[in-house]
Amino acid sequence: MRTSIATVCLSGTLDEKFVAAKEAGFDGVEIFEPDLVASPHSPEAIRARAQELGLTLDLYQPFRDFEGVGPDLLEQNLRRAEAKFTLMNRLGIDTMLLCSNVATARSGDEQLAAAQLRQLGDLAERYGVRVAYEALAWGRFVDSYEVAARIVRLADHPRIGVCLDSFHILSKGHNPEAIETIPAEKIFFVQMADAPLLSMDVLSWSRHHRLFPGEGGFALGAFMGHLVRTGYDGPVSLEIFNDTFRQSDPRDTAIDARRSLRWLEHETAIWLGGSGGRAARMSTAALPAVAPPSDVNYVELRTDAIDQMRDLLTQLGFRAHGRHRTKSVELWSQGAARMVLGRPETDRHQPTVAGMGLSVRDPEAALRRATDLLAPRVYRVEDPDDETLVGVRAPDGSEVFFGAESAGEPGWVREFGPPAGGDAAHIECVDHINLAQPWQHFDAGVLFLHSVLDLHTQPSMEVAAPVGLVRSQVLASADGVLRVALNLVPSAADADAILPQHIAFAASDVLALARAARDRGFRPLDIPTNYYDDIQARFDIAPELLADLQELNVMYDRDESGEFLHFYTHPIGTVFLEVVERRDDYAGYGALNAPVRLAAQYQQRRDAPEGVPA
């Protein structure tokens, strides 16, 4: 698959965009006209720079409001087009994007549009360029790719073809199947965009909310499958208008973008079932298959408040294994929940939840899939007799390590000292991991977990915090063993202040654990009495249970599948812990309780800015 990206997807100067695209591994770029107009470099210098970087210039875009006009305007439009063809010759670009007329078309007569496109084709012929006609979803008369393709057929000119853009087709709910009826040689260009499934005017949706493939809700594997079946083998390009990407580091965005196309290639291969049909000329290699992780092997925390965290883990019943035999980290465990604890490394920014280890059937295959998806490798310093763990870095800077499955305790546990004391084992394993994401990395974080770890998104939610709404997106493996919630901090807020990271553990009896912890000096996050009055009104809870919950600051939820009991610790630095008990088949996260927890944390910072109240 030849890959390309429109310069409008990336922030910065045109040169910064080129460098970012190149470094992420794109084959080419589309020149978005405003980027050219604003550049201090001549078209010839821009062409030379692209050549120097080894990038092809695949498309000049957009040209607007050409067809369906009266004779006077047609003349002006041909003059405008000629100026752009001249410019394209200077840039060495052979294809121009023509959007269907939005503003000046007086007629939807397809014969008229075709005749005018034919004239444009003749002009393009003289400059050795060609025109890719695209139906905008909000075109005045032409707003469907099937109509655009029909007009191109009527124009019947070798320099006139279509451009297919997945957003314009799927946002209108049009069926992409008919792509297969378009001859491959008439498909001059393809732009891929994903988007969340929003109900809003399509122009605003398109201009602000597009996403890279795999980050939204469109069925893009099928779309590409139909395209591959035509025999198309031109560039597959990204044209993503997104308010966040416009503000982000272009190097990060470009890697996210390139990953999305690798994922798309895989999805296409899956949809095609390994065979693209007789016409397929585009390679669509699937990613290495990986089975879902069999458990969360460990979670690694990096915090300066290490003594406070030791106290807390002790109170919750974790056992200390002591330090790693060669490294300054220590291990704490309870049941199959393992916490690797250390101070932050000084040479780079490191999130507090610095990493997670996953047990997988084939660690090398998991690594190959991850690096195939452009995840940067990270290395564990290992002695010859240490267990081998292989790892990559996520967009937020945290690390994911893969280790081999084992019948009992993982081998690397022996690299630490033996555990002190017996295992209380109220806590059984990690239930889920909550990662607050900087606003710039949220969508990239979703794509990383979805593509690299094959996690799937659950419906997203918004949770009201006292200083803004938090968008929360859970991704889970097929069997629910690995559940990660990404929380998007309001862009204006200080992430650490309003939304610490957190790890939730699963316990068999949360009330017993809370009581045992209290006996060891644990003080949970205070939950207001008003909350218990409210859940009593909502759920009509048995008085004894309600008294237990309130006494132990345990929160409660119930749905048709079961019950959920959970409590929170006070934040230690920028992380806190949660313990949950799922009764029957409860599969949620106590969403209605989250605002109360956030308010309690906010109140605590007001009352005791230094940390845990005395």
Which residues are near a second copy by CB under 8 A? 11-13, 33-34, 36-43, 76, 79-80, 83-84, 87, 198-201, 204, 207-208, 243, 246-247, 439-440, 462, 464, 466-469, 490-493, 526, 528-531, 533-534, 536-538, 540, 595-596, 599-600, 602-603, 606
Name which of 350 and 601 has its Cβ closer to a second copy. Answer: 601
DSSP state of 209: B
Q: Which two tokens stand for residue 424?
A: 């209380």
Name which of 45 and 285 has its Cβ closer to a second copy. Answer: 45
Task: Write down the least CB distance from residue 167 to a second copy, Å.
Answer: 17
Half-sphere exposure of 605 (CA within 13 A, CB side): 16
Name which of 83 and 407 has its Cβ closer to a second copy. Answer: 83
Position 212, amino acid: F
Name which of 374 and 489 has its Cβ closer to a second copy. Answer: 489
Name which of 335 and 445 has its Cβ closer to a second copy. Answer: 445
Position 76, amino acid: Q
Q: Which two tokens stand for residue 534?
A: 């409210």
Name which of 528 and 611 has its Cβ closer to a second copy. Answer: 528
Name which of 298 and 568 has its Cβ closer to a second copy. Answer: 568
Name which of 202 and 219 has its Cβ closer to a second copy. Answer: 202
Name which of 87 and 512 has its Cβ closer to a second copy. Answer: 87
Length of the chain: 614
Position 139, amino acid: G
Nearest in space to 304 (alpha carbons), one of 268, 339, 343, 264: 343
Nearest in space to 357 (alpha carbons), one of 323, 373, 333, 385: 333
Residue with tokens 């990407």: 245
Task: Write down the least CB distance from residue 205 to a second copy, Å.
Answer: 9
The rounded distance, in Å, linking the Cα atoms of 46 and 64 is 23
Name which of 440 and 574 has its Cβ closer to a second copy. Answer: 440
Task: Write down the least CB distance from residue 105 to a second copy, Å.
Answer: 18
Cβ-Cβ contacts under 8 Å for 288 (sequence gap 6 or more): 365, 366, 368, 369, 372
Task: Write down the least CB distance from residue 97 to a second copy, Å.
Answer: 16
Task: Write down the least CB distance from residue 126 to a second copy, Å.
Answer: 17
Dihedral pair phi/psi, residue 532, rounded to 5°:
-70, -35
The rounded distance, in Å, linking the Cα atoms of 513 and 507 is 8
Task: Write down the least CB distance from residue 50 to a second copy, Å.
Answer: 15
Q: Give pairs for 109-113: CB < 8 Å, separation 24+.
A: 109/68, 110/147, 110/150, 110/151, 110/154, 111/154, 112/67, 112/68, 113/67, 113/68, 113/141, 113/142, 113/151
Given strand 353-360, what is the order of strands in its sheet?
319-323, 329-334, 337-342, 295-302, 353-360, 399-404, 390-393, 377-378
Cis peptide upstream of residue 62 (ω within 30 degrees of 0): yes
Task: Write down the least CB distance from residue 530 to a second copy, Å.
Answer: 5
